[in-house]
Structure 1
């Protein structure tokens, strides 16, 4: 991590209710319930609200765990666990993820933030859930672009007709610390970015959409349990 000490990041994390103790905005009782049932994060099998896919989704048809394609940024391991409303893991589900790079650009499009990435596929990929309902992607911490808070998009396909589209959110304190002090994020800073409380989709999804963040050596891990209704969405 460039220009950002472990001490600085830990100080910023201490101020964040989503990161502290790994339990986010959830009660200790909820965290204990989740741990006992087996989910990897404390949002306790919440069935996620359906949200817009936004303007930047396409399927490049790439099944892979590492979606970085060598891009610069803070390494991020993204773990999603797909379950039903009773916490039963759903094996064999297809999970697509896509996100912007450190400078706010998506692959596959001409960008407002700058540049033409229409022939690129970075930060997009597909995985199939294992017996525990888990998929893991190696990515980078997402940047930001005007009008939206920091987020990662995902789709869960149980079959051709049962599809959940939603988003994952991150603590503002961690985002601001990274954007202010880590290259290449710090070329833009965070002065004009949208915060979580001002983002209409983050408000719609609520606390259950926030990843549980853990610091590891040289990277962060973001965990989220994604509850899906097996019936029509």
Structure 2
């Protein structure tokens, strides 16, 4: 188990390091190919006997569309679970599950890299954002034996021209297997944004329905969210195809 307070869990990696080092564990199990999301977020734990279940329709997987990494991708993200760095916002526990799509069984050792803006709509690491050298809301986690990579973050804010989203990249065996974006239900976003610090920036100008990237398959990359004592838990399951 990774200790959030252990400085060893905040190793800085180049993107190449994250692909070769973290992905090496999964290299034997995974081949190059697309990334898919299981319809049921808990399918990795509930699936029966692999290929037979897939063939029978008991386990159903759908293709998650590739999406742009956007202008705010950076090299050198840290391996860590808590990516907030003290930034305010509604707490979000993010659980991304990576499975083998041919069996819907979990894959251990894949590298999941996430990044997003803070509650005020600002990305870290860029001079034009006034955050050069900062690393908040960025991090990499390895998937555990259940195929799960977990992050502690905050509900993202908004910025002009985009709906609320989280960037995600999955890699294994030296290859980036998926670059995508995760999205949020509008009714929940509206509720969260009525609270501070989000309420300080009213009148967001882009919603899911009017976001050009969401319109190209964003409904298949929607997080399943549930209320927790401290905020929300968001889940999505992604499966790697061998072919």
**Same fold flag (TM > 0.5):** yes
Aligned Cα root-mean-square deviation (Å)? 2.1
Cα distance between partner residues in 2 of 1:228 and 1:47: 10
1:166 aligned onto 2:185 = no
Cα distance between partner residues in 1 of 2:42 and 2:171: 27
Cα distance between partner residues in 2 of 1:89 and 1:83: 4
Contact in 1 for aligned 2:41/2:236 (Cα 8 Å): no
**Partner residue of 2:110?**
93
Counterpart of 1:178 in 2: which secondary structure? Answer: helix
Gaps of 5+ in 2: 1-38, 49-58
Check 1:102–1:90 CA distance in 2 against 1; reply closer, same or farther (3 A cut). same
Cα distance between partner residues in 2 of 1:134 and 1:144: 27
Contact in 1 for aligned 2:99/2:105 (Cα 8 Å): yes
**Partner residue of 2:144?**
130
**Partner residue of 2:100?**
84
1:25-84 per-residue CA deviation (whole Å, 9 max, x = no partner) reads xxxxx659947328xxxx954332111100000132310000000110000000000113
**Partner residue of 1:202?**
214
State the 1:163 CA deviation: 2.4
1:184 counterpart (190, 197, 204): 197
Cα distance between partner residues in 2 of 1:62 and 1:33: 27
**Partner residue of 1:37?**
47
Check 1:102–1:226 CA distance in 2 against 1; reply closer, same or farther (3 A cut). same
State the 1:207 CA deviation: 2.5
Contact in 2 for aligned 1:47/1:229 (Cα 8 Å): no
**Partner residue of 1:144?**
158
Residues 190-229 of structure 1: pairs in structure 2 closer than 5 A: 191-229=203-241
Gaps of 5+ in 1: 1-29
**Which stretch has the larger CA shift, 204-213 or 91-100?**
204-213
Check 1:66–1:47 CA distance in 2 against 1; reply closer, same or farther (3 A cut). same
**Partner residue of 2:29?**
none
Contact in 2 for aligned 1:77/1:139 (Cα 8 Å): yes
Contact in 2 for aligned 1:45/1:83 (Cα 8 Å): no
Higher fraction of strand: 2
